[in-house]
Chain A
């Protein structure tokens, strides 16, 4: 009896999570397929017209493309730095290592507003305000902790005998890295890169501080239009913001499935 009650309670809890946390996100998708210039969960005039307008709007397309570029650059930057940092910290003694790790992970612990404010100050001195480079740097910074944690945990689970075995067979350290370590790191790397892309693609606070009129990212422009004009394009744009990272994640998941089936 009590078990049944418990299960019923669990079901209610699960439904509540879906209703309050997941549905509000998904609701934006049907809303975007509406020709009527109002926000309706169930579209009264179902159509793709908002998407047509969006893809015919050079203004939005420029911003969308800029965001993709920034996210891709931040992804590459943070992945490279993160992998090197993970390799480096693992070689340190325990005390130095926790110090460096704390430092590298701090961008996710310090509130973004604080980071944004101090970045604003420093970038103002360097003349980086309103530049793409400035945004990429800061996005890479806040994506770094994710890359570091993912890559590091994978690296630690790789048997250290592999590197020694490779050396005993005549491989120089760099060869061992490319031939033995990298292939085993591949999935963690893809995961880290996808996450880094996503972190950058929907980042608002830092971009808000650092972007200029000509370097607005998609979330910043979205923010602006919510504040100043309620455009019927908004649901379509929001849906894209959800879908684009999914498009990046999907192949990663597919790869992961395939390699699991292999072993």
Chain B
């Protein structure tokens, strides 16, 4: 079977495919081979149902971007459109500047790791990994060295002759990775790559995948519904909800400065106080129920009467037995305490509509505060984020 290149746009890609597959630089696996990706106003409609609204984002070469969101947010559909498994209803996908929107999946030269791995059950591990190289007509000797190199890379040496059904979940995951990177694709796509693993293994694989990705310099787009996975692994996270991007940026930035209530609650835990802006002695304050006041950051440019959701993270809150000289300080009563191992979660009634949640490292918190006790709660001005509604 010969590789047929018909549309003129696919020429560049196919040529590159050949170069990549021909095995120049055989010792290192695709170092620095990452492509930059541009997703431009891509959208997907199924009849009248809009799965993905026109969505754009860019992935710089060599970076790992995670699309994160609840189920139904369109994240997997976007990934499948980049892979070529789904035809977009509009917009385009550019990989290294080449428009691949209408190139079939098998000519895109992208690695894809499936949620359930999709390892071919009738082929051995080595045959699974060799599959892409065979398609690219790589010589037998080279296939052998590249397969063993790649299995080595994912720490599966010696398991090449096994069948996928004879491997553990974690090992299958590694085979899926090996199969997707062995042909040195410039872009790796991963659909919920760790959702089938137990928590301990998942934590381990997060670091491993991240290491591998950085070692190979391979541009990666991952999809997950697990916010902690997204925060741990990514250079950039893209938070999606109902088929549209809510916010994107580096994990720390998105976590610290959520721009919407959805992002604030989806990424980690948040205390949210809704109210209106009222000026007091020339400075902006948040008034909720007309009573309690939280000072706001002046530079945010508030106007009197703005409706605002005020967000503060549980771990930003300091709990002490006496009132401190912090920017934001309240006195309240502990409603209950929950021991979570590394931390203690306190719910404290400040007279707001809901008790505020504070997270304190357990060595400090375990015996210090009891429910019913009166405590001082404080945080610094910079730890509060206001979202204009």
**B85 interface hit (Cβ, 8 Å):** yes
Interface 1/0 per residue, B30-50 and A, CB below 8 Å: 000000000000000000000
A155 CB to nearest chain B CB (Å): 15
Q: Are A170's CB and B135's CB within 8 A?
A: yes
B196 CB to nearest chain A CB (Å): 12
B79 CB to nearest chain A CB (Å): 11
CA distance A2 to B104 in the complex (A): 66
CA distance A219 to B180 in the complex (A): 56
Interface 1/0 per residue, A149-193 and B, CB below 8 Å: 000000000010110111111111111100110011000000000
**B307 interface hit (Cβ, 8 Å):** no
A263: B residues at CB distance < 8 A: 121, 163, 165
Output the nearest chain B residue to A182 by Cβ-Cβ distance.
B122
B108: A residues at CB distance < 8 A: 168
Interface positions, chain B 111-133, Cβ under 8 Å from A, are 111-112, 114, 116, 118-122, 131-132
Interface positions, chain A 210-263, Cβ under 8 Å from B, are 262-263
The residue that B85 contacts in the complex, of A164, A169, A172, A183, with Cβ under 8 A, is A164
Q: Are A180's CB and B120's CB within 8 A?
A: yes
Interface positions, chain B 1-28, Cβ under 8 Å from A, are 1, 17
B33 CB to nearest chain A CB (Å): 16
**B308 interface hit (Cβ, 8 Å):** no
B83: A residues at CB distance < 8 A: 164, 168
Q: Are A165's CB and B112's CB within 8 A?
A: yes
Q: Are A167's CB and B120's CB within 8 A?
A: no
Output the nearest chain B residue to A165 by Cβ-Cβ distance.
B118
Interface 1/0 per residue, B74-96 and A, CB below 8 Å: 00000000011100000000000
**B310 interface hit (Cβ, 8 Å):** no
**B179 interface hit (Cβ, 8 Å):** yes
The residue that B114 contacts in the complex, of A165, A172, A180, A184, with Cβ under 8 A, is A165
**B105 interface hit (Cβ, 8 Å):** yes
State whether A184 and B135 are in contact (beta carbons under 8 Å apart), knowing that A159-B116, A170-B109 are contacts in the complex: no
**B110 interface hit (Cβ, 8 Å):** yes
Q: Are A167's CB and B84's CB within 8 A?
A: yes
A161: B residues at CB distance < 8 A: 114, 116, 118
CA distance A161 to B191 in the complex (A): 11
B163: A residues at CB distance < 8 A: 262-263
Q: Are B122's CB and A183's CB within 8 A?
A: yes
Q: Are B183's CB and A169's CB within 8 A?
A: yes
Interface 1/0 per residue, A60-102 and B, CB below 8 Å: 0000000000000000000000000000000000000000000
B1: A residues at CB distance < 8 A: 172, 174-175
A167: B residues at CB distance < 8 A: 84-85, 104-106
The residue that A166 contacts in the complex, of B109, B122, B131, with Cβ under 8 A, is B131
Output the nearest chain B residue to A159 by Cβ-Cβ distance.
B118
Q: Are B106's CB and A172's CB within 8 A?
A: yes
Q: Are B183's CB and A164's CB within 8 A?
A: no
CA distance A165 to B172 in the complex (A): 14
A170: B residues at CB distance < 8 A: 17, 106-107, 109, 132, 135-136, 183
Output the nearest chain B residue to A172 by Cβ-Cβ distance.
B106
The residue that B105 contacts in the complex, of A164, A179, A184, A262, with Cβ under 8 A, is A164
Output the nearest chain A residue to B135 by Cβ-Cβ distance.
A170
B105: A residues at CB distance < 8 A: 164, 167-168
Interface positions, chain A 84-135, Cβ under 8 Å from B, are none
CA distance A183 to B183 in the complex (A): 24
B112: A residues at CB distance < 8 A: 164-165, 168
Q: Are B118's CB and A184's CB within 8 A?
A: no
A169: B residues at CB distance < 8 A: 106, 131-132, 135, 179, 183
The residue that A164 contacts in the complex, of B118, B135, B136, B179, with Cβ under 8 A, is B118
CA distance A171 to B1 in the complex (A): 10
Q: Are B135's CB and A171's CB within 8 A?
A: yes
CA distance A85 to B189 in the complex (A): 34
The residue that A168 contacts in the complex, of B17, B110, B120, B136, with Cβ under 8 A, is B110
Output the nearest chain B residue to A173 by Cβ-Cβ distance.
B106
Output the nearest chain B residue to A180 by Cβ-Cβ distance.
B120
A165 CB to nearest chain B CB (Å): 4
B182 CB to nearest chain A CB (Å): 9
A164 CB to nearest chain B CB (Å): 5
Residue from the set B108, B118, B119, B189 with the largest chain A CB neighbour count within 10 Å: B118
B120: A residues at CB distance < 8 A: 162, 165-166, 180
B132: A residues at CB distance < 8 A: 169-170
CA distance A184 to B108 in the complex (A): 26
A175: B residues at CB distance < 8 A: 1, 135
A169 CB to nearest chain B CB (Å): 4
CA distance A180 to B66 in the complex (A): 30
CA distance A165 to B104 in the complex (A): 13
A172: B residues at CB distance < 8 A: 1, 106
Residue from the set B105, B114, B132 with the largest chain A CB neighbour count within 10 Å: B105
CA distance A179 to B189 in the complex (A): 23
Output the nearest chain A residue to B182 by Cβ-Cβ distance.
A169
List 15 A-B pairs, Cβ < 8 Å: A161-B116, A164-B83, A164-B105, A165-B112, A166-B120, A166-B131, A167-B85, A168-B105, A168-B106, A169-B106, A169-B132, A169-B183, A170-B132, A171-B106, A175-B135
Measured CB to CB, the residues of A under 8 A from B are 159, 161-162, 164-176, 179-180, 183-184, 262-263
List the 9 closest A-B pairs by CB distance, nearest first.
A161-B118, A170-B135, A169-B132, A168-B112, A165-B118, A167-B105, A167-B106, A183-B122, A161-B114
Known: A162-B120, A173-B106. 9 other contacts (CB 8 A): A159-B118, A161-B114, A161-B116, A165-B118, A166-B120, A166-B131, A168-B106, A168-B180, A184-B122
